[in-house]
A = this chain, B = another copy of it.
Amino acid sequence: MKIISVEERTIPLGSDTANAAISFQNMTASAVVVEIETGRGRFKGLGFSSYGRYSHGGLLRERFIPRLINITSGISGETSIQLLANVWDILMTNEKEGGHGERSGAVGVLETALWDAIAKSEDLPLWALLERDVGHSGDNGLPAGKTAIYASGGHYRSGSSDATEVAEETKQSLGAGYGWFKLKVGGATQAIDIARLEAAVQAAESSSLIAVDANCAYGGETGATQLNEIDQIGLRWIEEPVDPLDYLALAGCSQSLKTPIATGENIFSQADSRNLLHYGGLRPGIDKLQMDFVLAYGLTEYLRMIADAETLGWSRRDFVPHAGHQVALHAAAGIGLGGHETAAVSGGPFSRVSDDTVVQDGIASLSDTPGTGIENKPELFKLFQDLL
């Protein structure tokens, strides 16, 4: 494989929403196109940053794109996994250990574009390429090409964050075939949050169809009290109750809460993932791991995280990646993860799934279109117009 060209554009994602920790008004992402040449011809791969940690334009132009472009000799590997692991080594040349943030997203978005290109060069959807080269675990009870899927939303909006709106979003999401619905908590008073939650549970007709995302709002004693109240509701999961690096607090949560805990979207490396699993007190088979490989050095590093976790008793069913990229959808369907997240709000690049994906009864069934399917997601694809 030869790298022909790499282009990046920074895309403003500004939206009038917030979670407990941040506003999304000035959020950005990187759209990346990598053109490769293989024995079968030239193929363009599309990659898009994950949500919540900004674009990587500066880092890509300063360090990572030059490293990729400077590979003049071609890159090889017996399988797509080995090929990408070799690319990974090149991208990480002269990078020190430790301090995993930002660069992990730059590497992740580049790798994502490469996966799209390589899958296209093999004339396979990414899920089928991954099923072939990694293997599907079968853990999740679904065949390759299908995955559980849920909708997330319930953000705080300026002027309105009321229970009626949350109930409506819950009904719409479940009505559209998503398996469960997740809403934001921790960004309002506990009374308002509980009202929002009760409205969602009532709309869903089951507390197990409602998860919450606290974006680390529940540190300290007040947080513990609030968490205990939420724990009584019997939700599907409580996401990021505390700072994911505060392993003591996290272990405290898993000791005191019956509700499953989900975390990992801000854990960006194999080293950090290992520490989370060793020290965070999380419970295999109960809690959910949401590492987002577009933010975390790509699928190459993600497979290392999964391998580590499997030695500690976790299964791929426990992995439910953050954010809702097409690549995460394909990974879930290809190697058998616990599910796929997608934004319930219509419009915007993280909303829904590609048009050729069927969502029904909580299951997404992917098509045979080669690549990752960004071309079939019009709201996302239009952001690549300048690059193609």
Contacts and interface: CB of A to CB of B under 8 A. Distances in A.
A100 to B, nearest CB: 5
A233 interface: no
A245 B97 CA distance: 8
A23 B96 CA distance: 10
Contacts of A99: 53, 100-102, 104, 266-268, 295
Nearest to A66: B26
A244 B58 contact: no
B94 A23 contact: yes
A98 B266 contact: yes
A22 interface: yes
A165 to B, nearest CB: 23
A61 interface: yes
Q: What's the dominant secondary structure at chain A's contact region?
A: loop
Contacts of A216: 96-97
A263 to B, nearest CB: 9
Contact of A59 (B27, B59, B94, B95): B59
A272 interface: yes
A246 interface: yes
Contact of A94 (B26, B103, B267, B274): B26
Given A101-B99, A102-B102, A22 B94 contact: yes
Nearest to A23: B94
B94 A62 contact: no
A324 to B, nearest CB: 16
A275 interface: yes
Given A58-B62, A62-B10, A95 B22 contact: yes
Contacts of A104: 99, 101
Interface of A: 10, 21-28, 52-59, 61-63, 93-104, 215-216, 243-248, 265-269, 271-272, 274-275, 278-279, 295
9 contacts: A26-B94, A57-B62, A96-B216, A99-B101, A99-B266, A101-B102, A243-B271, A248-B278, A275-B275
Given A97-B216, A98-B266, A279-B279, 14 more contacts: A10-B62, A25-B94, A27-B94, A54-B62, A58-B59, A96-B266, A97-B266, A98-B101, A98-B267, A99-B104, A101-B102, A101-B103, A245-B274, A275-B279
